[in-house]
Structure formats: C-alpha cells, structure tokens
Amino acid sequence: MPALKHILIGKPISSADEGHQRLSKKVALPVFASDAISSTAYATDEILVVIVLQAGVGLTAFRPLVPIAIVVCVLMAIVVTSYRQTIMAYPSGGGAYIVSRENLGTAPSLVAASSLLVDYILTVSVSVAGGVLAIRTATGFDGKWTVPVCLLCVLVMTVMNLRGVKESGAAFAGPTYFYVVMLVTLIGVGFYRIFVQHVGPIPHELLSEEALETSRATGTLGLFMLLRAFSSGAVALSGVEAVSNGVPAFQKPESKNAAVTLMWMGGILGTCFLGVSILASHLKPFRGEDDGNGLGLMAEYLYDGKGVMFWLTMIATFLILILAANTAYADFPRLASIVAKDGFLPRQFFNKGARLVFSNGVLFLAIIASALIVAFNGDISKLIPLYAFGVFTGFTLSQTGMVKHHLKHRDPNWKVGMVINAIGAFTTGLIAAIVVVSKFTEGAWIPAALIPIMVFGFRSVGAHYSRGRAAVAVEPGYRPKRETHTMVVLVGGVNKGVLHGVQYARSLNPDRILAVTVASDDEERVRLEQQWASFDIPIELHTVYSPYRELTGPILRFIDELDQRHQDDIITVVIPEFVTSWKSQWLHNGSAFALKAKLLYRPHTAVVSVPVHMHDGTIDEI
C-alpha cells in the first residue's frame, strides 16, 4: 500500500520545503482562475437556455443577449476591483470568510464560509458536467456514459491534487492557456466572418428538428424571464473570489502577485465572455435539450464543419471545463482549514498530508461532488441553479465587510473604495435574491436551505470545541489529586499472552491487582482455576458467569462493582491480544475491539492492550 501511494501521490514533502511549493503568477493563473475563465464556455449558453428554451420567444431571445453580457461585465469589473482591495487588506487568504469575520462578526462569517464551501463543491460538479457535455457535443457518445465519465474525471483531478498544489498547477497550466488561445481565435475568426465576410446566422438546415421548432417560436420576453436570464449569465462571475482565498499560495510578495493575477483573470474573463455573447447574438445558435454545447455549434459553423480547428476548440473546451474544478480543489481545502483552525469544522480539515496539501479537504470535496453528479445525472443545467446563490451570497458579504473595513481603517482613497464596495454589495445581493426567487423551483432552494443548516452545524462544532477547551483548562497552581489505582487483567485462558499481561500489570506496582474471566458454566470455571493454580500465578482470579456467552456486558458490570467498592479510583483494564499479519488478523476473535470501544466512554477507566506478536507460528517475547 505505501508503494502504491507513492506511485499515485508521490513521495512526502518536508515542511521545510513548503516555500518551494509557492506558485508563480503564470502557474497561479490556471490554478485559481480556471474556474472563472471556464465560465465563458457555458455562461452565454445558460442565458440562452432561459430565453430560448424556457421562454420560447424565438428570434426575440437574442436581442437582449449583448446588453445582458455588458451588464455582467460591468458587475464583473466591480467585483474584481473589490476583491483586489480584499487581497491588499487581508493577505492571509480566506477571502469573504476572513473579511466577514473581521468586520461583520461570527454569524455572517459562517454564512460566507458555508456559501463558499457549497460554491466550491458545485464548481467541481458543474465544471466536470460541462466538460463532459462539450465532448458529447463533439463525439455524440451515448448519454448513459455521462455519469461514469464525470466520475472518472473527478478521480483524476483528486489524485493530481493530492500530489500537491504546485505539481497539479504545472500539469494543468498548458490546457488552460490552450483554451484561452483557442477561444480568442474562435472570437477573432467569428468577428472576421461576421463583420467582414458578412456571414449570417446558422442556417436552418444545420439545426436539429427540436432546435428548428424552437427558432420558430414567437412571443415577448417578460421582465421575470429577463431577470432569470441575467442571473444565469452572472455565473460568469463564479470563481472570481478564488484568488483572494489563496493568497498565501503565491510567491512573495504574495499580495502583489495575487492582485496582478486577479486583474489578468478579470481581463481574460470579461473580454472572452462578451466576445462569445456577441458571436451568439449574430449566429443565433438555437439548440434543443440534447443538442450539446452552444460554443461547439458556433465553432462547427464558423470552421465549416468538424475539421481540425473545431476539434481543437472542443478539446480545449473539455479540458478547461474539467480543469476548472482545480480552482475548487485549490481553495476548498484551504478555506476549510481556516474554518477548522477557528474551531468550526473538525480538526482533521486543518491537518496537512504528506504532500503539504490539506488532503482530508481534497477527499471530502471529491466525495460530495461525485454524489451531486450522480444525484443530478451529470446535467449541467440542473446543477447551475444550485450554483449561483452561494456565489453571490459570498460576494455580498465580502463587499459589505469591505465597506465596514474602509469606515474603520480609513486608508488612502478609502471613500472611492467604499463606494465601489457598496455598489458591489447592493448589486450582488440583488442578484442573490433574484436567483432564489426566479429559480426557486429549479433547485435554488437547496443551497438557500443548506447554508443555514451548515451554519448551525458549524456553531455546533464550535460549541463542542469550546466545551472541550473549558473541560481541560487549568488554573495557575492546579495539581491533580492523588487517586488509587486498580488493575484488572482479562483472562480467557492461561497462555503466554495472559502471563505477559499479568507480568506487565505487576510491573506498574498498582494499589490493587486482580484478574477476571468470564465463564458460561462451572466446568469452564473449574478448568481455568486449576490452570491458574498450576502456574502459581500470584494474583487473585475472579470469575464472572455469563450463561448467554456474552463478554462485554458482564465485564462492564464487574468494573461497576469495583467502582462502588473503591471510589475515587482509576481502573486500568489490561487486555492481552494476539497480533498477526493483516492477512490473518481477521481470523482471531474481535471481541477485544468491542470491549475497548465500550470502555473508552467509561469515566476513570484506562485500557491497555498488551500485544503478543505471532510470526510463522512463533511468538515474540515482550
């Protein structure tokens, strides 16, 4: 097993080498921005899903597409500027959670943490589902393979991220830049063909029967549908906060490098999203429910069929959508570790693995994201409504916290920053409300209900750790009182294991020492007492009857009786155990495990296992 672990994950990395695992800006961009950049492959599609498929207004659907995209880009600029301020003000990472904790209090910070953690889980599900959809568009493979292919992609991403942030970032950098190049090329070719060659919309003969029927629909786009379309397109902002959450992962100077990376990401994201939306408004890529990715339909038309450029575009789209999950793999474990450090998540999330990554967070993320993929059958349109609410809740709290930060610290140009953050808080809060109202029945209610439940869970964990700290806290001069000590050796028969257990107990010189055995009848009791006497074992043997051959209950009752006779006493139960190789250990009686599990929760009781190791039929002496 260790050899397999080294093959898959790599050799352990020393804590002293942690500085060498920091990311340069060129590597950090694909690590932290792949989620945001990947949204260009589906954000325009999601607007069209609402105004083409759901509203059913035909050609009218494409008129508001570019205006919606422009509003989204303006909002994106506000959010990027806000998070740049967050990076400079809070270089320790944690993004919205830290900003909310420092400025708004515990409850809002836990809401922000819940929103971000839900967002990252959905990032993996949405990105992988979108990537597989892109491949389905290009290859037309049977939809029944969607979920298995999605799960395979999650497995590969998990293994790569367990190898370390730097190694996974280096591996995924190429595909991210490849996608940007192919998308910019598609937009450039599209603009040339539309505005120079005056190419018209996709001809009807290239549309499926379902898409053709959709294109013939007539109607008027109402305000409600317009708001739904805008909230769907606003998923282009997803992942913008990722850089602010991972500032400590950058090379020094961390804040400066993170801020530059954030601006790169914003420029690429805004330009490409607006470019794709302009292409779609002219080409009018009508599609049915099963017609695949809109980007693929436009690429097939602009490149005159499924030639080399089409396939390169679709491969790049598949890779970026799959690798967008890498942003979540980079940020979910890091944020979970910060929340765990504050005592609101299990401590296991704070521990780093052999490769200096928060491996428990990586594995937890993979399991929950896989469960969502199975539950929603890998359908990206069903997952998107769950996605947007958490994104904008985190944005709103972060920017509200920054408004209070400006009022508190009054740094240079604080009034300008406060106005930007206030506008951002209002708009993102409005979008969060629109998402819940307009997509409530499509699944937006799930994160809206899940986040309060998670906050309650965080508080419960925090209360538990607070009680634990209070229970073990000591005042100056505290000294534990002297307690008497009774040792009880469990006996199943006279053998080397029991004799070693007796010898171990006597060596500790307790106040009292005795042995206890459980017998189902007198014949068994007499036989053991004769063996005990023949070996002249110098401690008293007590027999507990158990006519129903139960072990745990009679032993616990015997210990309770000892407690009543000797109050303020520590009882140590000595359990001799035979230990063999992992191949044959299961052949031995496992009753000792059940007994130890019960004794663990008993006050003033300690349990000591005295192992007797068996190798090739021989027994190692203790």
Structure confidence at residue 410 (pLDDT): 84
Contacts (Cβ under 8 Å, ≥6 apart) of 86: 95, 96, 99, 244, 398, 402
Token pair 């805008």 is found at 230
Radius of gyration of the chain (CA): 32
Q: Kindly state whether residues 170 and 310 are assigned to the same domain.
A: yes
Question: Residue 521 falls within a domain, yes or no?
Answer: yes
**Residue 172: is it exposed, middle or buried by C-beta count within 10 angstroms (0-12/13-18/19+)?**
buried
Q: Tell me the average pLDDT across 562-572.
A: 82
pLDDT at 113 over 80: yes
Q: Range with the lowest mean pLDDT among 169-183, 222-236, 340-354? A: 222-236
pLDDT value, residue 19: 46
Which residue carries 């937890």 as its tokens? 364
Higher-pLDDT residue of 92, 292: 92
Cβ count near 175 (within 10 Å): 19
User: Which pLDDT tens digit goes with each residue over 248-279?
Assistant: 778 888 888 888 888 998 899 889 989 988 98
> Could you tell me what percent of the chain has a pLDDT over 90?
9
- Are 376 and 512 part of one and the same domain? no
**Does residue 139 fall inside a structural domain?**
yes
Q: Are residues 247 and 368 in the same domain?
A: yes
Residue 403 within any structural domain of the chain? no
Q: What is the pLDDT of residues 14-27, one digit of tens each?
A: 444 444 457 788 88
Answer whether residue 34 shows pLDDT above 50.
Answer: yes
Q: Say whether pLDDT at 53 is over 70.
A: no
Inside any domain, residue 396: no
Q: How far apart are CA 492 and CA 517, in angstroms?
A: 6
Q: Which of 184-188, 330-334, 444-448, 516-520 has the highest mean pLDDT?
A: 184-188
Residue 597 banded pLDDT, cuts 50, 70, 90: confident
The last residue of a domain, from among 337, 357, 381: 381
Q: What is the CATH number of the domain that holds 536?
A: 3.40.50.620
Q: Which among 381, 408, 424 is the end of a domain?
A: 381
pLDDT for 456 beyond 90: yes
The lowest-confidence range among 440-444, 534-538, 567-571 is 440-444
Could you tell me what percentage of the chain is helix, strand and coil, using 3-state DSSP and rounding each to the nearest 5?
70, 10, 25
Residue 52 belongs to domain spanning? 2-11+21-88+120-381
pLDDT in tens, 298-336: 888 888 888 889 889 888 888 887 777 777 887 888 888
Res 565: pLDDT: 83
Are 152 and 276 within one domain?
yes
Tell me, yes or no, whether 490 and 341 share the same domain: no
Domain closes at, from 360, 381, 402: 381
Query: In total, how many domains does the chain have?
Result: 2
Answer yes or no: is 472 within a domain: no
Residue 462 lies in a domain: no
List alpha helices for 349-495, DSSP H. 359-375, 380-409, 414-438, 445-472
* Mean pLDDT, the chain, integer: 80
Dihedral sign for Cα atoms in the order 67, 327, 98, 261: negative
Q: Give a yes or no: residue 286 inside a domain.
A: yes
Average pLDDT over residues 120-136: 81
Give the neighbor-by-neighbor strand order of the sheet with 512-519: 540-545, 512-519, 484-491, 569-579, 605-615, 618-619
Tokens representing residue 167 in the block? 């190694």
Q: Summarize pLDDT for 57-107 with one digit per residue, the tens.
A: 556 667 778 888 888 888 888 888 888 888 888 877 667 888 888 899 889
Q: What is the pLDDT of residue 20?
A: 46
Statement to judge: residues 213 and 345 lie in one domain: yes
Domain match, 126 and 251 both: yes
Residue 207 belongs to some domain of the structure: yes
Tokens of 212: 């053709």
Cα-Cα-Cα-Cα torsion 333, 337, 338, 344, nearest 10 degrees, comes to 120
Q: Which helix (H) or strand (E) holds 116?
A: helix 106-139
Q: Are residues 131 and 257 in the same domain?
A: yes
Question: Is residue 255 domain-shared with residue 373, that is, in the same domain?
Answer: yes
